[in-house]
Structure 1
Amino acid sequence: MTFPQALPSPRTPDSRDAPPLRWAIMGPGWIAEQFVASLQAHTTQVVAAVGSRSLDRAQAFASRHDIATAVGSYDELVALDDVDVVYVATPHPSHLEHAVMSMEAGKHVLVEKPIAISADQARQIAAVAARTGQFCAEALWTLFLPKWDVLRQVLDAGGLGELRSVHTVYGEHFPDGHRIFDPALAGGPLLDLGTYPLAYVTSLLGPARSVAAAGVPDVRGVNGQLGATMLHDGGTMSVVATTLHGWPRNEITIIGSEGVATVEALHNSPGPITITSADRGVTLTYDEPHGDQVGGLHFQAAEAARRIAAGERETPIRLLSASIISLEASDEIRRQVGISFAEAGLDEHG
């Protein structure tokens, strides 16, 4: 294991080269707006339809993005013949229902993160994907960015030596009235923001074997902030935190026996990675155009299109098993902190 002399180039293909598929947008909210704008700017994918429980809302979204078909129910959307893949962007508690609905109708799915509100629900989605033979993946877009491929290559080559620990935090500020404060929508920072840190640490270190978590409620009725220290196989450790109370630096620090990698703020968006040798004698930096915070959403769609066109049913960048492992850690954190979706009238078991 040797610290690298130079950083590799990303292997991420040009998104415009991905075979064009016909996409349907399920749920015309903020993230769907960003997703469609990114596809239309950076890919040859066709956004063919949009569906909402409100026909007026679907038609307004279609008008803004020049989408040919708008429908006023999700049943109508998944029944459309001119759709290959559905991007599920409805609220978190609906992901199980809508992913299953789409796959049962013969459509592939890319499900906005978190893929479900619990590991049990994610297992149900994976089981339906296996039974129907449809492509299914969690749209955790960060892992599809070129910078993550650079980091993956360094780690796979042993450039940091033996991994020791991963430290990461993600927080934001939200205005009063934002859906993240709604308990009925599985609000709080864990699923919206904490999904990123949990995905990072479990992707890098594997499942959490033990968890010690604590949290503090917000006056608006959801958890406001929490943190967890987790132990993983091989004597490795992770420390994660997430908050609704403001913007920390939002970095990832990966510590190995030969060096340290820092994925700089905002770690979930395009931006720089710095790798420093253990003796601090060598520092290497990879950077990429920052654009706006969600400017790289097209990479996940292009990856899905390539896999679907090749007849594959998952992407190794975010396997369904990896999504389940992240949610297992999330479930244990919720248990220890005392976050119960059942109290908000949600069935986390589907």
Structure 2
Amino acid sequence: MSLWSAARHVEIFPLPVRGRLAWLHQVAARHDGGMTSLPSSRILDPLDAPAIRWGVLAPGGIARDWTAALHATTASRVVAAGSRSLERAQAFAAEFGVERSHGSYEALVADGGVDAVYVASPHSQHHEHALLALGAGKPVLVEKAFTRNGVEATAVVEAARAAGLLAVEAMWTRFLPHIDVVRRCLEDGVLGEVKAVEADHGQLLYPDGPRRLADPALAGGALLDLAIYPISFAHLALGGFTAVRATGTLAETGVDASETVAVTGAQGAIGTLASTMLAKTPCSASISGAAARLEIDGWFYRPNTVRLVGLDDREIDRYEPPSREHGLAYEAAEFARLLAAGKTESDLLPLDETLRIMHVLDDVRAQLGVRFPGER
């Protein structure tokens, strides 16, 4: 692209002539420098992962979605389900062709035919149930948010490390193919220096949604269910935060109903993150750099399209996921590969990053004035 061709594709700002020409040369160089395509994803097909035998602890709604994805697109299988109600475990087993049902969590984690445990209970119980499984010698995939708070998360991580057992937070977005495209763009400097991140997640879940979301005793609220997605996304994009500022509103029960979180990255980039359980929002995300930006439209945290957009707002390239179905299978496949390789945590979401994000969530809650019963 020539200098003047570049000029026709961008808006000319009222800069001094020398500055304007230098800027145009930079734009032309970016177009001519090979930034014409997105990198490929390194995430492998879930079906190629080793087969392991899973036990599901707390067979609720998310456990059903996760098991359906696991059985549809991986070689692994759920072989046991454990609930405080034997009838509920049996109903889940019948629905998914699971071999064994247990009427207690203790019986599930003691099952010798289970290679790993998926902890799918409410946030308020993740700490207890992850420690229960680890204490029985079982590796754990713990549904996000990892625990209620950083203190509990630290206890789980320390227990896993002391036992030499694999532990991973089930933040499924981090393991999806399109997020690896984002990760590679950041690693390769495709966007230039990152300057800004935006992400939102809003779903109409209150007051008529799941009762646990309104219950402080179950660690309800928008933060641990919804805001964790844009916060985790921005944490990946910015490499961590140096400052966090939060405002929001509370529900009648005292849990957070919505929040806006402004963060600053180590290099001075900013993030504007929002979540609410009072309305459905676009659920989009973007990362803007000095050379280009990435855009992910609605449901950014699910298997999705990534668009590379130039400074002239024209689309340069786009990535399409291999499938938009069964996205939960990717975290299970990553876990199976790690377990087969004898690893104790994932490079895609290391335990130390899980802890840092948990402390950010603690900070946001403190600023909003939300405290869960029984927290230390």
* Aligned residues of 2:204 and 2:278 also touching (Cα < 8 A): yes
Q: Which residue of 1 aligns with 2:173?
A: 142
Q: How does 1:75-94 map to 2 (within 5 A)?
A: 75-94=106-125
Which is worse superposed, 64-73 or 172-181? 172-181
* CA deviations over 1:20-41 (Å, ceiling 9, x no partner): 1110000111000000000100
Q: Aligned letter for 1:245? A: L
1:203 aligns with 2:236: yes
* Aligned residues of 1:88 and 1:111 also touching (Cα < 8 A): yes
Change (3 A) 1:165 1:50: same
Larger Rg: 2
Q: CA deviation at 1:222?
A: 2.1
1:264 aligns with 2:292: no
Q: Which residue of 2 aligns with 1:194?
A: 227
Q: Aligned letter for 2:333? A: A
Q: Which residue of 2 aligns with 1:123?
A: 154
Where 1:53 maps in the other structure, the secondary structure is: coil
Change (3 A) 1:241 1:177: closer
1:176 aligns with 2:204: no
Q: Which residue of 2 aligns with 1:105?
A: 136
Of residues 312, 327, 344, the one that matches 1:279 is: 312
Change (3 A) 1:69 1:171: same
Identity across matched positions, percent: 37
Of residues 186, 192, 216, the one that matches 1:155 is: 186
* CA deviations over 1:163-212 (Å, ceiling 9, x no partner): 11211110101262512111211111000001111111112213322222
* Aligned residues of 2:216 and 2:253 also touching (Cα < 8 A): no
Of residues 290, 297, 310, the one that matches 2:341 is: 310
TM-score, structure 2 as length reference: 0.88
Q: CA RMSD in A?
A: 1.5
Q: Which residue of 1 aligns with 2:45?
A: 14
Change (3 A) 1:248 1:116: same
Q: Which residue of 2 aligns with 1:68?
A: 99
* Aligned residues of 1:3 and 1:160 also touching (Cα < 8 A): no
Q: Aligned letter for 1:312? A: K
Structure 2: runs of 5 or more not aligned = 1-29
Q: CA deviation at 1:271?
A: 1.4
Q: Which residue of 2 aligns with 1:167?
A: 198
Runs of 4+ in 1 over 6 A off after TM superposition: none
* CA deviations over 1:44-91 (Å, ceiling 9, x no partner): 102110000011100000000000000011111111100110000011
Q: CA deviation at 1:146?
A: 0.6
Q: Aligned letter for 1:173? A: L
TM-score, structure 1 as length reference: 0.95
1:346 aligns with 2:374: yes
Q: Which residue of 1 aligns with 2:76?
A: 45
Q: Aligned letter for 1:153? A: R
Change (3 A) 1:3 1:122: farther
Where 2:370 maps in the other structure, the secondary structure is: coil
Q: Which residue of 1 aligns with 2:5?
A: none
Matched residue pairs, number? 343
Change (3 A) 1:240 1:3: farther
Structure 1: runs of 5 or more not aligned = none
Q: Which residue of 1 aligns with 2:281?
A: 248
Of residues 157, 164, 189, the one that matches 1:133 is: 164
Distance 2:314 2:279 in 1: 34
* Aligned residues of 1:210 and 1:232 also touching (Cα < 8 A): yes
* Aligned residues of 1:154 and 1:160 also touching (Cα < 8 A): yes
Distance 1:207 1:338 in 2: 23
Higher relative contact order (CA 8 A, sep 6+): 1
